[in-house]
Amino acid sequence: MTEITSTGMTRRALLGAFAATTVAAAPTFASAAGFLRGAGDIRRIKMYSGRTGERIDMIYWIEGEYIEDAVREVNYFMRDWRNDAAISIDTRTVDIMAASHNLLGVSEPYMLLSGYRSPQTNAMLRSRSRGVAKNSLHMRGQAADLRLASRSVNQMAKAAIACRGGGVGRYSGSNFVHMDCGQVRSWGG
């Protein structure tokens, strides 16, 4: 049975037009926050560190508010494990990570390879590799290097790029993705 509206369009055509405008409007925001909206409007981050053996699985944002204690735990978890130095991690980076994780549809936690890096750690890593930036956003608490066993570097990078919240680097040879809240850009292969 076809239902015709007063405009002469079928109900299916009307719903299709509505869906098309919704999809067209959705990607216009420039932050990951839009991908995090949903049932209950909560944001959750799940990670573990192979270096420290620590795990984190927590809701850090509810109904428009960051949870201070949870953000402090994220800051400590993402510390420079080499010297135990911690700073405030930019919540925009955590939002990009959480949104990407949601888009990937996995329950597996991220493996955090690198969050905050002290200037000393960054200099040491830079002396060993051409791929470490002199003014890395890791030193500002605005970047993370992440891995998922169940997803490829390309799958992770595509999810992060879809968030349009910052930089995304593919490091296929080392099996990780860099996500940051800096300028929107992507690199690597």
User: Within 10 A of 188 (CB to CB), how many other CB atoms are there?
Assistant: 15
Q: Is residue 161 part of a domain?
A: yes
Query: What is the structure's pLDDT at 43?
Result: 95
Query: What is the structure's pLDDT at 189?
Result: 78
CATH number at residue 173: 3.30.1380.10
Q: Is residue 108 part of a domain?
A: yes
Number of domains into which the chain is organized? 1
Q: Is residue 12 part of a domain?
A: no
User: Does pTM surpass 0.85?
Assistant: no
Q: Is residue 18 part of a domain?
A: no
Q: Is residue 156 part of a domain?
A: yes
How would you write the pLDDT of the chain (189 residues) with one tens digit per residue? Answer: 444 444 444 444 433 433 333 333 333 334 455 555 554 689 999 999 999 999 999 999 999 999 999 999 999 999 999 999 999 999 999 999 999 999 999 999 999 999 999 999 999 998 998 878 888 999 999 999 999 999 999 999 999 999 999 999 999 999 999 999 999 999 997
Q: Is residue 11 part of a domain?
A: no
Domain that holds residue 131: 30-188
Query: What is the structure's pLDDT at 104?
Result: 96
Q: Is residue 84 part of a domain?
A: yes
Which CA distances in Å does 47 have to 32, 148, 182? 18, 10, 21
Q: Is residue 95 part of a domain?
A: yes
